[in-house]
Amino acid sequence: MFIDEIRINAKAGDGGNGVARWLHEKGKEYSGPAGGNGGRGGDVYFSASSDLALLANYRHQKLFKAVRGTDGGGKSLYGENGADCEIAVPVGSIITDLTHDKKYELRMVGEKIKVLEGGRGGLGNEHFKGSKNISPEEFTLGKAGEDADFYIELELVADIGIIGLPNAGKSSLLNAITNARAKVGNFEFTTLEPNLGSLYGVILADVPGLIEGAAEGKGLGHKFLRHVKRTNLLLHCISADTENFEVAYKTVRAELEKFDAEMAKKEEIILITKSDMVDEKILKELVKKYSKTHKVLTVSILDDESLKTLADTLVKIVKK
Q: Closest by alpha carbon to 109, among 98, 93, 97, 121?
A: 93
Higher pLDDT, 217 or 127: 127
Higher pLDDT, 169 or 270: 270
pLDDT per position as a tens digit, 133-191: 988 999 999 999 999 999 999 887 778 888 888 778 888 888 888 865 655 544 343 44
Of the candidate ranges 78-87, 179-188, 240-249, 274-283, the one whose mean pLDDT is the lowest: 179-188
Domain definitions of the chain by residue range: 5-154, 160-318
Biggest CA pair distance of the chain? 108
pLDDT per position as a tens digit, 53-94: 788 889 889 999 999 999 999 999 999 999 999 999 988 899
Q: Closest by alpha carbon to 44, among 59, 62, 63, 65?
A: 65
Whether the CB-CB separation of 184 and 190 falls below 8 Å is answered with yes
Question: Above 80 in pLDDT, residue 229?
Answer: no
Question: Above 80 in pLDDT, residue 11?
Answer: yes
Cα first-last separation, the chain: 35
What's the pLDDT at 49?
A: 86
Q: Closest by alpha carbon to 125, among 117, 116, 134?
A: 134
Residue 63 identity (one-letter amino acid): L
What's the pLDDT at 210?
A: 53
What one-character DSSP code corresponds to residue 30? Answer: -
What's the pLDDT at 188?
A: 42
pLDDT, average across residues 275-282: 92
Q: Closest by alpha carbon to 145, among 103, 172, 114, 107?
A: 114
- What distance in Å separates the CA atoms of residue 37 and residue 20, rounded to the nearest whole number? 9
pLDDT, average across residues 12-30: 86
Give CATH for domain 160-318: 3.40.50.300
Q: What pTM did the predictor assign?
A: 0.67
What's the pLDDT at 30?
A: 65
Look at strands 147-154 and 160-163 and give their pairing. Answer: unpaired
Higher pLDDT, 104 or 26: 104
Residue 313 φ/ψ, nearest 5 degrees: -65, -45
- What distance in Å separates the CA atoms of residue 119 and residue 124, rounded to the nearest whole number? 16
What is the CATH architecture assignment of 5-154? Distorted Sandwich (2.70)
Higher pLDDT, 49 or 71: 71
